[in-house]
Amino acid sequence: MDKKKNASRTRLAIMESAGKIFAEEGFSKATVRDICREAGANIAAVNYHFGDKKGLYLSVLKHYQEMVFQTYPPDFGITAAQKPEEKLRAYIRSFLTRMMDDVHPPWFARLLAREFTEPTWAFDILVEGSIRPSFQLLADIVAAILGKKPDDRRVRLCSMSIVGQCLYFRHSNPVIIRLFPREFSDAGQIEELTEHITFFSLNGMAKAKTKNKRR
């Protein structure tokens, strides 16, 4: 039993150290030697637990992303019986909370940002495993609001605009806090941002529906 606990602790220590170093150096520059030194583990432990450096990198990405999605699932407890507008609000709240809350290590956001701007071989796995299913859920909600099919181009554009608003408040935070130091500075603003983005998006989609009817 002790051996299993020790192995589990070693595995988690390696992933934690790997995440920090991958976030700072990127996949290519990070070395297994540096990761193991940081974790206080033998280099052979990486091969034992993850197979190789690629296996370690993918395990780090998947483990922490799954942890975030389990804590804050995209549906955020909504039911099929709820109105599409309510589902949209829940989706946006979940999206913002996943990005702005402290459920994940501080380096994880940097690692994901690096993966988005400098995609590695793991990016497609990340997209298919979590990003596409999450986006499809949003597209289904938007399609119901617009009265269109989920694969309609306008549905995709509206869905991307909603995601874009959420991402702005996360990734542009350094700019926002310099422009408006007393606003949007912490996770306590999540509810306000949820209401704003929902209101803005619903009104934009209502305008789009009216425009389509006139054509």
| Residue 26 and residue 48 share a domain | yes
- Predicted local confidence at residue 13, as pLDDT: 96
- Predicted local confidence at residue 68, as pLDDT: 84
| Residue 163 and residue 79 share a domain | yes
Evaluate whether residue 65 is within a structural domain: no
- Predicted local confidence at residue 171, as pLDDT: 82
| Residue 111 and residue 45 share a domain | no
Q: Are 27 and 36 in contact (CB under 8 A)?
A: no
- What are the two backbone dihedrals, phi and then psi, of residue 152, each rounded to the nearest 5 degrees? -70, 140
Query: Distance between CA atoms of 195 and 198, rounded to whole angstroms?
Result: 5
What is the domain count for the chain? 2
| Residue 116 and residue 40 share a domain | no
Evaluate whether residue 66 is within a structural domain: no
Q: Which domain holds residue 155?
A: 72-214
| Residue 77 and residue 51 share a domain | no
| Residue 184 and residue 89 share a domain | yes
Evaluate whether residue 98 is within a structural domain: yes
| Residue 105 and residue 192 share a domain | yes
Evaluate whether residue 50 is within a structural domain: yes
Evaluate whether residue 67 is within a structural domain: no
| Residue 131 and residue 28 share a domain | no
For the chain (length 215 residues), average pLDDT per consecutive 10?
78 96 96 96 95 97 88 78 94 89 80 91 93 94 96 96 93 86 68 95 90 61
- Predicted local confidence at residue 215, as pLDDT: 55
| Residue 122 and residue 32 share a domain | no
CATH of residue 18 = 1.10.10.60
| Residue 125 and residue 97 share a domain | yes
Query: Distance between CA atoms of 76 and 5, rounded to whole angstroms?
Result: 33
Q: At what angle do helices 32-39 and 53-71 cross, to 10 degrees?
A: 50
Query: Distance between CA atoms of 99 and 109, rounded to whole angstroms?
Result: 8
Evaluate whether residue 160 is within a structural domain: yes
Evaluate whether residue 63 is within a structural domain: no
